[in-house]
Chain A
Amino acid sequence: MIAKSLFKLSSCSVALMISLILGTNSHAATMTFSVVDYPPYILVDEKNNRISGMDVDIVKAAFASQGQEVSFNVLPWKRIVKSMELGLILGTVSCSKRASRDAFMLFSEPLSNVSRSIVSRTSLDTSQVQELSDLSKFSIVTVDGWGMQKKLIENELEHQSAPDLDSAIKAVMYRDVDLLYMAEYPARYSIKKLDIEEDLKVTSLINEPSLPLHLCISRDFPNATDILRTANKGLYTIKENGLLDEIRAKYLSHN
């Protein structure tokens, strides 16, 4: 009996040591995630060459809890997706899960949620807009390639696309586009940044469920599964120790 227990304990210890070694080895180099500016989830300060944001900090903390350092670089969203498709980059942050991405992405536990909203001119009556289908009466713009666009397409809502969020906001502001279909927090962030809070308003689509945002890892990237495991473990850790909430509170209260 004792021998069996000792054997089990030894085996577990050895396994633990091995996994720790392996785990340590696999997590030795800094890992880099490619991101886009998606405030407040991802904040790109090009001037100071600094990337931060809620989801960024969460991911950084999660991996740090596992002894893994991570870094971030900025790439265009489409390039991120395509590179992930080809397994050329590790992954990205704050990406939504969808069936089309399953083939080449691994999704971590949710980092945050994004609720959908519409941005319009203050003067526009949007009281009746509560769900996506209500948008059909308006001219719509969204950011090209983002999840919001997918939704519009799925719902067969005609729309324009803008290359980035600022352009989309400007389209509403200056180009006679009624609505910008956008995630709430990024929209508010941009409006604030553009200092046009008095001209534009953000209306939540209360009937639209919020969308979780994940850490997405390229399936074809080496050790993707291990990395995902590490990420999830880290998320669990920082959730348990309250760091996750701290980070969220930090960004959402500011927002």
Chain B
Amino acid sequence: MKLGQRIAFRQAKIILITSFLIGGFSALLQFYNDLTHVRENLTESIERSVSLYMPSLQRSIYNLDDQQVQSTAEIILADPLFSAVEVFDDFGDLKGRATQANYAPVNWLSNFSFSLLGIPRQLSRTIKIPSIVERDAKLLLSIDKQYVASGLTSRAVTLAFSGLIATLLLSSILFVVFYFALSKPIQEIARWVANLDREVRKEPMNPPYTKTDELGELVQSVEQIWHKKDRANRQIKALAYYDTLTDLANRRMFIESLEDQLNQLKSQTSFGAVMYLDIDRFKTINDSLGHQVGDQLLMTFAQRLKRSLPKDAVTARFGGDEFVIMLPAQYELEAQAVTSAKELAASVNALVSVPVQVGRHLIHCTTSIGLTTFPQKDDSSAHILRRADTALYQTKAEGRHGYRFFDVSMQRLAQSRWQLEEGLHKAISQQELELWLQPQVTVQGVISGAEVLLRWQHPDKGMISPLDFISVAEESGQISAIEEWVLEETLKKVKSWQEAGLPKTFRHISINISPSHFMQADFISRIEPILKKYPLDNIDVEFEITENLLIDNFAQATKSMKVLQEQGISFSIDDFGTGYSSLRYLNQLPINVLKIDRYFIAPINTLEDEAPIVDVILLMAKKLGLEVIAEGVETEVQRQFLAERGCRLYQGYYFSKPLHHGEFYAMICRQQVIVPSE
């Protein structure tokens, strides 16, 4: 730091300038006082001299005693105050004169100082002489400027010089004092603060200043702030790298650890493994028992994992109920990594399976685990995690509670699913989705309604069945948009058919609603505008919902159904008989139709075959006043079988395969009755 930037220097400079100003002002004041004092003294001295010699002068002038006058003049001149004395008698004649013998020229400074005194160079005093001459004698005194001014000048110079010395001395001393009292300690404190920030320490370096004063307070404050900052940094680090709920590593920390491993593997050959796991049906537990219970569950599993897993394993919670475990790359062979990972997966399955007591709930859980080894060719943390995730997905697809290792086919499957998901985003806007309808016919073969089915005309893959893409749509959250499109398009289409001409026998239209869509909080508010936009006269709009939807969400489903019922919507239970249903709801829910699943129809080959479930469903529906539609009717025998048991409505390939909406309309305009042929 330059000298000029130091506080001590700046303070000393300020003090110097201030001292000069104050000192200068003080010196001027003193000089002024001196001046006044000198002037007064001078005047007094002059008057004293005059008064002292006046009687003598009066006498000698009266006597016209030249000698005496001269003598008195010389005595007056003896006073160094005067440079010349002249005495004039009352006749105006010079009677006496005395002048300093060696009167040196006056220098400019003395001249100036004398001028400041404001005393005339020459003074005249009247000498009163009793005489007949009406005139007074006169005493003329010339002041010795040099003598008068020199004292003044020398005092002023001394004052100025001493003031200057004092100021310089004071400033120097204060500079030193401030340097050691302020600048140096502040510098040390600044260095200490800089080091606090620069180095990572558990404890700060010893404070450089411990005195009880302002600097000491500053140091204490900085220390306190540093401690707070240190604590905050640790908290931030903890928040940045650790999961707050379970205290496990978070995604970021896990990925950094994984990437560290990959970096190390650039220079060595060994294998590790990553496991991606989640708790099966955790969402159900969370929703039914509450988030507090869910959190407690997760914390318990986290603790179990921490206790059971190898010390060098990195365990992380990626969010929700997803956990990821990394076995470090310490295995020479990939097979060893695979074996260890499998063993670990099995033990994880086991420890998650142990019931957890949370409050008064004893909760049983299972876990699905996806496994992968690393490194693979051109591997990265993202690739590894994607492989493990894909394997997890496969595990779930295969029924959960278990573990699967990633293989290439999974990759292909995942790739395919991803492509479908991406394609679905554009399907609606690019008008790739099509409405197809499958007729629902009466006993007489009259087309009384239709079920709306969706087809996807993929530009590359051709026609894609809903079996392939509906699950993808549900998982990716696109199902709502798709089904709302289906609803709107269907109502618009039927409305246009009505306006163009629709057989009166066509009485109802069924639209499939997925559980995830139906259970959305804003489902009704999104559906109602569509219903109001395309009101259909004399045609029932029927929502087909699955049995499991009702099982899993009875209260909410009931509420939504009643609201929609008031809007004129009917409900049919799709695939009835395949879920784990409680019969209680059949009475309480606003259901209109039961659709017997094809699973129960397909085995009917002869009229003598036993189909007890079908019988029960038909009987129950009859007792409850519900319509029944049999799905998957493919033969005359099945139709007859069902007809004999009182089933009045049918749907299946026996009557018609699903048709493009245009084709359907053409058909229904052409014929209201379908005469099937085997």
Q: Which of B61-69, B275-283, B486-494 contacts A (4 or more CB under 8 A)?
A: B61-69
Q: Is the CB of A86 within 8 A of B91?
A: yes
Q: Is the CB of B65 within 8 A of A163?
A: yes
Residues 52-76 (chain B) with a chain A CB within 8 angstroms? 62-65, 67-68
Indicate whether B133 reaches chain A with its CB closer than 8 angstroms. yes
Q: How far is the CB of A122 from chain B (nearest CB, A)?
A: 30
Q: Is the CB of A89 within 8 A of B132?
A: yes
| B62 partner, pick from A79, A86, A89, A144, beta carbons under 8 A | A79
Q: Compute how far the CA of A51 lies from the CA of B65 in the bound complex, rounded to whole angstroms.
A: 23
Closest to A89 in B: B132
Return chain A residues, CB-CB under 8 Å to B65. Answer: 76, 78, 144, 163
Size of the chain B interface, CB-CB below 8 angstroms? 10
Q: Compute how far the CA of A114 lies from the CA of B91 in the bound complex, rounded to whole angstroms.
A: 31
Return chain A residues, CB-CB under 8 Å to B68. Answer: 163
Closest to A164 in B: B63
| B63 partner, pick from A76, A86, A88, A89, beta carbons under 8 A | A76
Q: Is the CB of B64 within 8 A of A88?
A: no
Q: Is the CB of B91 within 8 A of A82?
A: yes
Return chain B residues, CB-CB under 8 Å to A83. Answer: 131-133
Known: A82-B91, A86-B91. A163 touches B63 (CB 8 A): yes
Q: Compute how far the CA of A75 lies from the CA of B91 in the bound complex, rounded to whole angstroms.
A: 15
Q: Is the CB of B64 within 8 A of A78?
A: yes
Return chain A residues, CB-CB under 8 Å to B64. Answer: 76, 78-79, 82
Return chain B residues, CB-CB under 8 Å to A163. Answer: 63, 65, 68
Q: How far is the CB of A150 from chain B (nearest CB, A)?
A: 16
Return chain B residues, CB-CB under 8 Å to A75. Answer: 131
Return chain A residues, CB-CB under 8 Å to B67. Answer: 144
User: What does the 1/0 interface line of A51-75 toward B look like (CB < 8 Å)?
Assistant: 0000000000000000000000001
Q: Compute how far the CA of A30 lies from the CA of B91 in the bound complex, rounded to whole angstroms.
A: 25
Closest to B64 in A: A78
Q: How far is the CB of A101 from chain B (nearest CB, A)?
A: 16
Q: Is the CB of B133 within 8 A of A76?
A: no
Return chain B residues, CB-CB under 8 Å to A89. Answer: 132
Q: Is the CB of A78 within 8 A of B132?
A: no
User: What does the 1/0 interface line of A141-163 toward B look like (CB < 8 Å)?
Assistant: 00010000000000000000001
Q: Compute how far the CA of A82 lies from the CA of B62 in the bound complex, rounded to whole angstroms.
A: 11
User: What does the 1/0 interface line of B496-533 toward A look like (CB < 8 Å)?
Assistant: 00000000000000000000000000000000000000
Q: How far is the CB of A18 from chain B (nearest CB, A)?
A: 32
Q: How far is the CB of A32 from chain B (nearest CB, A)?
A: 9
Q: Compute how far the CA of A82 lies from the CA of B65 in the bound complex, rounded to whole angstroms.
A: 12
Closest to A73 in B: B132
Return chain B residues, CB-CB under 8 Å to A78. Answer: 63-65
Return chain B residues, CB-CB under 8 Å to A76. Answer: 62-65
Residues 192-246 (chain A) with a chain B CB within 8 angstroms? none
Q: Compute how far the CA of A79 lies from the CA of B58 in the bound complex, rounded to whole angstroms.
A: 13
User: What does the 1/0 interface line of A83-100 toward B look like (CB < 8 Å)?
Assistant: 100101100000000000
Closest to B89 in A: A82
Closest to B66 in A: A78
Residues 17-72 (chain B) with a chain A CB within 8 angstroms? 62-65, 67-68
Q: How far is the CB of B56 from chain A (nearest CB, A)?
A: 13
Q: Is the CB of A88 within 8 A of B133?
A: yes
Q: Compute how far the CA of A78 lies from the CA of B59 in the bound complex, rounded to whole angstroms.
A: 12
Return chain B residues, CB-CB under 8 Å to A79. Answer: 62-64, 131
Q: How far is the CB of A54 from chain B (nearest CB, A)?
A: 24
Return chain A residues, CB-CB under 8 Å to B131. Answer: 75, 79, 83
Closest to B131 in A: A79
Q: Compute how far the CA of A89 lies from the CA of B131 in the bound complex, rounded to whole angstroms.
A: 10
Q: Compute how far the CA of A34 lies from the CA of B314 in the bound complex, rounded to whole angstroms.
A: 144
Q: How far is the CB of B132 from chain A (nearest CB, A)?
A: 6
Return chain A residues, CB-CB under 8 Å to B63. Answer: 76, 78-79, 163
Q: How far is the CB of B128 from chain A (nearest CB, A)?
A: 15
Closest to A34 in B: B132
Q: How far is the CB of B225 from chain A (nearest CB, A)?
A: 102
Q: Compute how far the CA of A96 lies from the CA of B131 in the bound complex, rounded to whole angstroms.
A: 24
Return chain A residues, CB-CB under 8 Å to B91. Answer: 82, 86
Q: Compute how far the CA of A75 lies from the CA of B133 in the bound complex, rounded to whole angstroms.
A: 12
Closest to B134 in A: A88
Return chain B residues, CB-CB under 8 Å to A86. Answer: 91
Residues 349-391 (chain B) with a chain A CB within 8 angstroms? none
Return chain B residues, CB-CB under 8 Å to A144. Answer: 65, 67
Q: Compute how far the CA of A44 lies from the CA of B133 in the bound complex, rounded to whole angstroms.
A: 22
Q: How far is the CB of B300 from chain A (nearest CB, A)?
A: 140
Q: Compute how far the CA of A144 lies from the CA of B68 in the bound complex, rounded to whole angstroms.
A: 12
Closest to A78 in B: B64
Q: How far is the CB of B364 from chain A (nearest CB, A)?
A: 152
Residues 156-190 (chain A) with a chain B CB within 8 angstroms? 163
What are 16 A-B pairs with beta-carbon distances under 8 A? Answer: A75-B131, A76-B62, A76-B63, A76-B64, A76-B65, A78-B65, A79-B62, A79-B63, A82-B64, A88-B132, A88-B133, A89-B132, A144-B65, A163-B63, A163-B65, A163-B68
In the complex, besides A79-B62, A79-B64, A88-B133, 6 extra interface pairs with C-beta distance below 8 angstroms are A78-B64, A83-B131, A83-B132, A83-B133, A89-B132, A163-B63
Closest 7 pairs between A and B when the two form their complex, measured CB to CB: A78-B64, A76-B63, A79-B64, A88-B132, A82-B64, A76-B62, A88-B133
